[in-house]
A and B are shown apart, each in its own frame.
Chain A
Amino acid sequence: MCTYLTEKFPLEGSGKGAQGYFSLSEAMVYIDHPQHAPYEHTVNIDFLNPAKGPSARVAVELTEEAALALIDAVRTALASAPPGLAAAGGTAGAPDPSAVPARD
């Protein structure tokens, strides 16, 4: 079925699309027919920057199991890092970014 339903939210970060990296401004999640994955329905996640045009898009089409595993993996990864380490503006308990040794 075409669900016509879309969860959309603003975000900050970058993604790599067909033309290389670009900054992201929003993402949407919807369960509907995929373009490529060999299933009738998938969990589709698009990372977008509409200001840069329709091709500024990083897309994945995941099975339900894969989408849930992704959620768990993100939560596990975040739980294993100091709180706020990857936050946009840092948090009260976060270490000073300038104190984090640069990786090379």
Chain B
Amino acid sequence: MYDAVLAETISITGHGGDRIEAYSARPLTPGPIGSVVVIHHMPGYDAPTKEITRRFAAEGYAAVCPNLYSREAPGADPDDAAAAARAAGGVPDERLVGDVAGAAAYLRGLPSSNQKVGTIGYCSGGRQSFLAACSLDLEAAVDCYGAFVTGRPPEGFPLQIEPLAHLTPDLSCPLLGLFGAEDQHPSPADTAALEEELKKHGKEYEFHTYEGAGHAFFAVDRPSYRPQIAVEAWGRVLDFFGRNLAG
């Protein structure tokens, strides 16, 4: 089987017509194949996220991870870029949606594309994956432990972002949620509340909450990494994308 993959930094058109940096990894096959937009976590557009992007290519998907901090810190180290974006007030929801839309348009424009695009996001990107799926026409979305999709912040907690549960009626595609039972943000109660919203609006979803895991169990370079659970959860992701994006 021919299994060559091309991974490279590219430029795509993001929100507002801005040219933004992105990391692309795709199989060099004629297709047709599905596509994945990888939404990086708050600490940035970093090496482990690029590794995740390459994994999707190796699994047969064209994948693009937009650098959500391109505007604040073009060319900077990922950690410095994350700090610069934070100092500038973070990534506005509207801009995130525009950047994911740009990545999805780029992927659908590839000659190998079967026109099916999914998103996956981690941590803050989990929330953003849900946001994108409620704002854009997509074929699948994965939320990996995204906080504040549902759940009110504690009293006196001056949250600068909005919970998204009210957008549930607009969810355009099946949702896979992967969570840690020991995570407090989102807590099992928060994800149960999201599940209720999804049921109420007749949305297709699949949630897995893993015992023995907290936040960021996919993060291979952090103490929160749970190898066995990450292997199991990767299997869930590939099964989900296989059903919704392949072919």
Task: Give the B-binding residues of A (Cβ under 8 A).
Answer: 1-2, 4-6, 8, 26, 28, 30, 32-35, 38-40, 46, 48, 50, 53-55, 57, 59
Contact = CB atoms under 8 A, between A and B. Distances in A.
A55 B184 CA distance: 33
Which among A2, A26, A50 has the greatest number of chain B C-beta atoms within 10 A? A2
A17 to B, nearest CB: 9
Interface stretch (B59-67, B98-106, B157-165): B157-165
A55 B54 CA distance: 27
Give chain A's interface secondary structure class: loop
A23 B138 CA distance: 47
B79 A40 contact: no
Contacts of B124: 2, 4
Nearest to B157: A5
Given A2-B147, A5-B160, A40-B223, A54 B42 contact: no
Give chain B's interface secondary structure class: loop
Interface string B125-169: 000000000000000000000010000000000111100000000
Interface in B149-207: 158-161, 183-185
A23 B52 CA distance: 37
A-B interface, 7 closest residue pairs, ranked by CB to CB distance from nearest = A1-B185, A54-B76, A54-B73, A54-B84, A54-B80, A2-B124, A35-B79
Contacts of B73: 53-54
B10 to A, nearest CB: 21
B44 to A, nearest CB: 8
Contacts of A59: 79, 83
Nearest to B214: A40
Given A39-B223, A40-B216, A40-B224, A6 B80 contact: no
Contacts of B224: 40
Nearest to B81: A54
Contact of A50 (B42, B77, B87, B183): B87
Given A1-B185, A28-B87, A54-B84, A33 B123 contact: yes
A48 B83 contact: yes
Contact of B160 (A4, A50, A54): A4
A33 B222 CA distance: 10
6 contacts: A2-B185, A5-B159, A6-B87, A50-B84, A54-B76, A59-B79
Which among A30, A48, A57 has the greatest number of chain B C-beta atoms within 10 A? A57
A26 B83 CA distance: 12
